[in-house]
Structure 1
Amino acid sequence: MTETWDTIADWYAELLRTGSPLNDFNRDTLLAHLPDELSGHQVLDLGCGEGIITRALAARGATAHGIDPSTRLIEHARTAGTPGPGTVSYAVDDGCVLGTVADHSVDWVTAGLSLNHVPDLDAALTAVRRVLTPRGALVLSVPHPCFEAPHASWTRLADGTHRRVVGDYLAEGFWRSADPRAVRRAGNRHRTLSGYLTALLRHGFTPETVDEPAPTAPVIAHQPRRAGLPPFLLIRARAPHDSPGPAG
């Protein structure tokens, strides 16, 4: 059977709720690029999955709206509750369209490990720019393009240490992992680092921070081979003052 996010949703929700150091690390590093206090802020969580980041936004006081194309993941998100003092709402929606979100209605868009799944990055950024208020910001994380390229693997050296074999870095496009325990068995869209940055610039966004966070002790304990590599690329980019649409 070809896996989809709906078919792996129950497994994925259980993985996150029983403790996933990598996903916890992604949430925490992404949140580090947002204000500690989000009361009065409208935040869209694009590709929210089972709501791990949406709930954290509400815990900071945000009015958080999570969208995801997977009906089953949204069902899991709705059953997880709201930590408050903010609020959460969820909808099944396409990240390339954002049909449930009004123009200029959100101060922040978070996209934690989700833009690497959208089929059309330009369409997604057009939609994000449309829903952001002027000078609102997008905070995104993706698997680090340099080290999570299609078919990247590990090799063991004679001294017992491991090194990452990069894989097909320049081969942008859709690929699927053959590992039955991997999230990317449901598919992933690889883009180069320059692909993400130039797309943001093309749509008028101004990158404010670019981060390659070093893995924490829990991540290293869970996956010791990752000790020397950043698992994620994080970017915070500010929307322009003018009306939405791609830059000319």
Structure 2
Amino acid sequence: MADTNSTNESMGRKAYSEFAKRYAEIAPTKPHNALYERPTTMALLECVNGLRVLDAGCGPGICSEHLAARGATVHAFDVTPEMVELARTRCAGLPVEVVEGDLSAPLSWLPDQSFDKILCSLAFDYVEDLQPVLEEFRRVSRPGATLVFSMAHPMRDWMDDRTRGETTYFDTSRFGFYWSGFGEPKPYVEAYRRPLSDILNGLTTSGWSLDRFVEPRPLMEMRETSERLYAELSRAPAFICIRARC
């Protein structure tokens, strides 16, 4: 079972418990997710058929469901109990195990060298110090394993008055604002912004080798949904998607 001693202090749990059901209903088709970040992240994972995959920070199990449909055996975890229940419901009948666990704490329930691939989609933004969890991912990875993760683009957040804060670009800063696009009442979500060098250097210091760095572009289908959003994301990226190998 997951060690959840630190979940009461989790930034992600505090935010997502307020609108977990709405997120689970909207995120599968929301353009930022379905037509932008998720296709890029899942493509970086490449073939998962017959492999054991860790879905870390799985949310309502959207990616876990996709991975299982592609032939993977999935172990998933999330810090928010409501998300864990939603993921279990979504993935019922599939080779997916979902437990409660915190990226900010040791992944003590996971044995060494137990996964072929690790996915962490849009969850690192709620973790202040990435290196410990990157080291934990390295520990539970089999030789030659792949890690794929996505997160907010640090320069995009630096350029936004709502997220920049009063610190310099080179500091890790905490910010929060009300999200639109997930119904009312608008959820207040806090996250961390950090320099790109901290992300990449933390990755390599933890024993991973950077393989691919992607600043995604929206799929053409987004134009039909929102010409404004398509134009905005075609000019500058909102996320980064990274693949590393051990």
What TM bracket, shorter-length normalisation? 0.7 to 0.9
Determine which structure has greater relative contact order: mean sequence separation of CA pairs < 8 Å that are 6+ residues apart, divided by chain length.
2
Q: Which residue among 31, 43, 53 is the counterpart of 2:42? A: 31
Gaps of 5+ in 1: 154-164, 240-248
Cα distance, 1:42–1:202 mapped onto 2, change above 3 Å? same
Deviation of 1:99 after TM superposition, in Å, equals: 2.9
SS in 1 for 2:111: coil
Q: Which residue among 121, 124, 141 is the counterpart of 1:132? A: 141
Residues 13-45 of structure 1, C-alpha deviations (whole Å, 9 max, x = no match)? 12214x211111222111111223x22211001
- Corresponding residue for 1:144? 153
SS in 1 for 2:71: coil
Rounded Cα–Cα distance in structure 2 between residues aligned with 1:214 and 1:227: 6
Q: Normalized against structure 2, the TM-score is what?
A: 0.81
Higher helix share: 2
Contact preservation (8 Å) 1:5, 1:70: yes
- Corresponding residue for 1:92? 100
- Corresponding residue for 1:176? 176
Q: Which residue among 118, 124, 127 is the counterpart of 1:109? A: 118
1:55 paired to 2:65: yes
Contact preservation (8 Å) 2:151, 2:241: yes
Alpha-carbon RMSD across the aligned residues, in angstroms, is 2.5
1:216 paired to 2:219: yes
Deviation of 1:52 after TM superposition, in Å, equals: 1.3
Contact preservation (8 Å) 1:141, 1:233: yes
SS in 2 for 1:33: helix
Gaps of 5+ in 2: 1-10
Identity %: 31
- Corresponding residue for 1:65? 75
Deviation of 1:149 after TM superposition, in Å, equals: 3.2
- Corresponding residue for 2:22? 11
Residues 95-141 of structure 1, C-alpha deviations (whole Å, 9 max, x = no match)? 23223321110011101111111232111112111111122121111
